[in-house]
Amino acid sequence: MNQRLRPAVTDPVILMFSRLQVETCDVDEPLELLRSLTADRDVAIKFCGRISLVVDGYNDDPRELFEIPEVRAYVDRLDREWSYWFFFLSQADESIKLLESCLCETIEVVPGVTSIDLDQMERSLARHLGAMYRLGEQLRLREEMCEEVTEGIIAMFRNAAVERIEGDDYR
């Protein structure tokens, strides 16, 4: 296992949004926590790659989270207030994919296979990577830290990419 990912697996930090928070678009509590992560260099390093996003209260909803307008609006509001996700989100789970699928036009092509608007995703990735590098400069982090995170994120999206689905079942 990649040593940088080990804390995300052995000691994850769950950032859970309740259905009530989502439906009322109440971002105050999560924003307070998120802002505390970026206020101090040592704290930022300690929580690098360890945050897992969980949206609670939609387990019985047959839709994917990115298909629920309230979830999309909630994630978008959080993202407008705090954009340093990539430095902190776990690459060991679906947190980054959840973030991007809520921020970009996303459809489920077949069960378990999604398609994200590539132009929107490119802009979103550039915004989040830029924010991460600005954070690195502000907190005087080793540039290699941000480069390693970037490599992992790019590899994650590259591994998830499917050019097109072959076969009669998917036309």
Give residue limits of the domains in the chain.
Answer: 6-162
Question: For residue 9, is pLDDT > 80?
Answer: no
Q: pTM score, two decimals?
A: 0.86
What percent of the chain has a predicted confidence (pLDDT) above 70? 88
Residue 126: its H or E element: helix 118-138
51, 74, 102, 119, 159 from 44: Cα distances, Å: 11, 24, 24, 30, 27
Determine the pLDDT at residue 44: 96
Distance CA 158, CA 171 (A): 23
What's the one-letter identity of residue 143? Answer: E
Torsion of CA 77, 104, 35, 151, to 10 degrees: 180
Q: Quote the mean pLDDT of the chain.
A: 89
Two structure tokens written together for 84: 């340093």
Q: Highest-confidence range of 30-34, 111-115, 159-163, by mean pLDDT? A: 30-34
Distance CA 29, CA 12 (A): 19
